[in-house]
Amino acid sequence: MTDTLSRPALDEIGDGARYIEAARGLAPLIDAEANGMETGRAISEAVVDGLADNGIFWMLVPREWGGAGLGIVDSLKVIEELSRSDGSTGWAVMANAFSTGVAAGFLPDAGGREIFAGAEKGITAGMILPTGKGVRVEGGYRVNGTYGFASGSGHASWIGAGFVVHDDEGNPEIGDDGQPVCRVAFVPRSEVEFLGNWNVMGMVATGSEDYSVTDVFVPEARAMDTFSTVPVRDEGVYKLGLLGIGVGGHGPVALGIAQRALEEIAAIAAVKTRPGYPSVIGDSDMFRREFVTHEALLQAARRYMYDAHADAEAAGAAGAMTDEHRARLRQVTTWVQGVAHDVVTFAYGWGGSSSIRNPSVLGRCMRDISVGARHMLVEPMTLVEAAGPILAGYARS
């Protein structure tokens, strides 16, 4: 794969460089495993081992617990590199590493140490949104719920389960803000039932099964506020807030898939002929104009995504995070999905039969971006929600 698109935006400095290079170094393995992983609907053991051996699952975990302690920008770059190789791999690692990061930053210290500071560092997955029910009991909660989309759960040791807190009479607890009190519990894998129902058209190898948690006791130390912007730890990355970290990982997955699609169509166009074209389609003025237009859009999307996250992380570390910073993170993450989808659609269309005859990397890119862009955290209404603080920034006194 060419590095043409990654070089200008991926300024690899500091401790993140080793992890970005490790992700690049795994590309041949992931490429070789990708078709089999799609057939098997899970990330292969060989790829999981490669990711674990390089510490990638724990890149957002503090160093004192054996993690890399990376900032958000370097972590996003790692996910983009993995997604260039295979969208499902990038997505699954995003789900694992970023949920692991928020658990490390927002769980009480005792819970974080239980999961991450032992001889076997935990890998998390699962649904953090509060679709379950947790009854407050002595020392913690009794949690029940059925959840969807546990991406990367096939190799996870701890599973997140979001819930609304209820009292012992079954009434939802209401917080000072007038909203139900919501928590995320982390449950050992052995206490979770996976439903084996992952049968989809894209992001197939993520293994994002539904699962249920039945009457499981979760101690207070393994539960955290669902929508907190106040971390337990002081590292700057956690000042982005739980959703600021969790949502942001969707952007580089889309960018990586789109970049791979451009690389694939550039190679195909150099040799592919079609009726009505005097030579290979890569020599066509129409193809070349469309290629450079979509390439420019992808470059712009990448630059804005990294700039917005760098600005927000710096503001958070300085205690100066604003609503506009948070809004721009939502804006760019959702906008990137549309740009990437357009780029992949362009490449897929020009690929002709090369896009549809399996095995086809372009076909897989099209399937994966189509599914990834449908996620509820990047659906178009998030742009409406982001508009208020951004518009306010344009107001003149």
Other beta carbons within 10 angstroms of residue 289's beta carbon come to 10
Alpha helices in the chain (DSSP H): 6-9, 16-25, 27-40, 45-53, 72-85, 87-106, 109-116, 242-248, 250-269, 285-317, 323-351, 353-356, 361-372, 381-392
Domain boundary among 191, 225, 259: 225
pLDDT by residue (tens digit) across 195-250? 999 999 999 999 999 999 999 999 999 999 999 989 999 999 999 998 899 999 99
Residue 66 lies in a domain: yes
Q: What is the pLDDT averaged over residues 85-108?
A: 97
Question: In terms of domains, do 78 and 164 share one?
Answer: no
Residue 230 lies in a domain: no
The average confidence (pLDDT) of the chain is 95
Q: What is the pLDDT averaged over residues 290-303?
A: 99
Question: In terms of domains, do 162 and 40 share one?
Answer: no
Tally the domains of the chain.
Answer: 3
pLDDT at position 5 is 38
Alpha helices in 149-284 (DSSP H): 242-248, 250-269
pTM above 0.75, yes or no: yes
For residue 3, is pLDDT > 70?
A: no
For residue 6, is pLDDT > 70?
A: no
Domain range for 196 is 124-225
Q: How far apart are CA 2 and CA 229, in angstroms?
A: 38
In this structure, are strands 158-166 and 124-137 parallel, antiparallel, or unpaired? parallel
Domain boundary among 201, 225, 249: 225
For residue 4, is pLDDT > 50?
A: no
Residue 178 lies in a domain: yes
Domain boundary among 206, 225, 244: 225
Question: In terms of domains, do 36 and 54 share one?
Answer: yes
Q: How far apart are CA 378 and CA 205, in angstroms?
A: 21
Banded model confidence at residue 58, pLDDT cuts 50, 70, 90: very high
Q: How far apart are CA 346 and CA 333, in angstroms?
A: 20
Name residues whose C-beta falls within 8 Å of residue 291's C-beta, 6 or more positions apart in sequence: 262, 265, 266, 269, 346
Residue 321 carries which DSSP code?
A: -
Residue 68 lies in a domain: yes
CATH number at residue 99: 1.10.540.10
pLDDT by residue (tens digit) across 179-191? 999 999 999 999 9
Q: How far apart are CA 212 and CA 318, in angstroms?
A: 40
Pair 161, 180: CB distance under 8 Å: no
Residue 198 lies in a domain: yes
pLDDT by residue (tens digit) across 376-390? 999 999 999 999 999
CATH number at residue 376: 1.20.140.10
Residue 333 lies in a domain: yes
Question: In terms of domains, do 176 and 272 share one?
Answer: no
Question: In terms of domains, do 32 and 52 share one?
Answer: yes
Question: In terms of domains, do 209 and 240 share one?
Answer: no
pLDDT at position 396 is 66
Q: How far apart are CA 225 and CA 242, in angstroms?
A: 9
pLDDT by residue (tens digit) across 253-271? 999 999 999 999 999 999 9
Banded model confidence at residue 109, pLDDT cuts 50, 70, 90: very high
Q: What is the pLDDT averaged over residues 139-150?
A: 98
Question: In terms of domains, do 84 and 147 share one?
Answer: no
